[in-house]
Structure 1
């Protein structure tokens, strides 16, 4: 007597359970991966308090209009481990600056942010020693001219081998 072949059991409840665990396991793994990347990358932080920034908007706009009316131009240069900031008036003459600061930051991270105090140099500009790694930087400069006129400028620069591009 021969035994009949056992019938195929087909798709069972255990198979469905395995499919469900695999499906939701992939979804949970992707969510955990994305959460880890979100917590270790740029925060998206722009201002500390958006309400206060909104209240200051009109004052900053007025200051920008007054600065634009001066028809001054500014330039920032980084070379040989030194940042130099100069301002020229509408006639192209250099404006003597008495003090200032430069905030140097990366566009997408605050890990290398630094604030330096700029000192007057012999030519009437402002400068300070700084060591920056190559790459993209935003330099936000606040300066006071010798006649007490404030100046604010934000510039994006690309450093390659220690010089601005």
Structure 2
């Protein structure tokens, strides 16, 4: 006894639907990922990679010379203040003519800012500025007699309401 009811037949329309669903999913995911990648971070680390590569050895030598002096920096971000201390080994204060702090978000640049730290005595420099909570990369440059005596970058996390 055989049934006259035909079994399922895979037709060209079924194949077309399967291909549209398959490739449509892949294309949608790719466009979504591309949009998210370009809208969240520019990817720009240096403006000109060729120039940066040419300057690398000079910068590396400068950093080695700076590290050989033994100067250490300590950064504290609390409440509405930024505090940075410069000291030689043995906690001897280091005086600088100018100390600048560049606060940068790890991703994006719309909240980045630069602030000049004022001397507060004994190798301590301060600025009154609220820093929003979250992760920051803080690049600090201290200059004495026109020469950079400290150039460092620290990654910090600020918690709470500017604390």
- Please indicate, yes or no, whether the TM-score normalized by the shorter chain is above 0.5: yes
C-alpha distance in 2, partners of 1:8/1:71? Answer: 84
1:132 aligns with 2:131: yes
TM-score (norm: length of structure 1): 0.84
Counterpart of 2:151 in structure 1 is 152
How has the CA–CA distance of structure 1 residues 80 and 6 changed in structure 2, closer, same or farther, with 3 Å as cutoff?
closer
Aligned residues: 160
Cα pair 1:70 1:90 within 8 Å, conserved: no
What residue in structure 1 maps to residue 51 of structure 2? 52
Larger-gyration structure (1/2): 1
For the structure 1 residues 67 and 9, does the alpha-carbon distance in structure 2 shift closer, same or farther, using more than 3 Å as the test? Answer: closer
Q: CA deviation at 1:104?
A: 0.5
**Distance of 1:147 and 1:24 partners within structure 2:** 61
Structure 1 SS opposite 2:107: coil
For residue 110 of structure 1, report the CA deviation from its aligned partner.
Answer: 2.0
Secondary structure of the equivalent of 1:154? strand
Deviation of the 1:143 alpha carbon: 0.9
Q: TM-score, normalised on structure 2?
A: 0.85
User: Structure 1: where are the runs of 5+ without partners?
Assistant: none
CA distance in structure 2 between the partners assigned to 1:25 and 1:11 by the alignment:
20
2:71–2:150 contact (8 Å) kept in structure 1? no
1:70 Cα offset (Å):
0.8
- In structure 2, the partner of 1:92 is 91
Distance 1:159 1:34, change over 3 A: same
The residue that corresponds to 2:41 in the other structure is 42
Within 5 Å, which residues of 2 pair with 1:46-125?
Answer: 46-125=45-124
126-135 vs 52-61, which deviates more? 126-135
CA displacement at 1:9 relative to structure 2: 6.8
For the residues of structure 1 that align with 2:5 and 2:106, how far apart are their CA atoms?
Answer: 68
Aligned-pair CA distance for 1:121 = 2.2
* Mapped partners of 1:8, 1:154: distance in 2: 70
Unmatched 5+ residue regions in structure 2? none
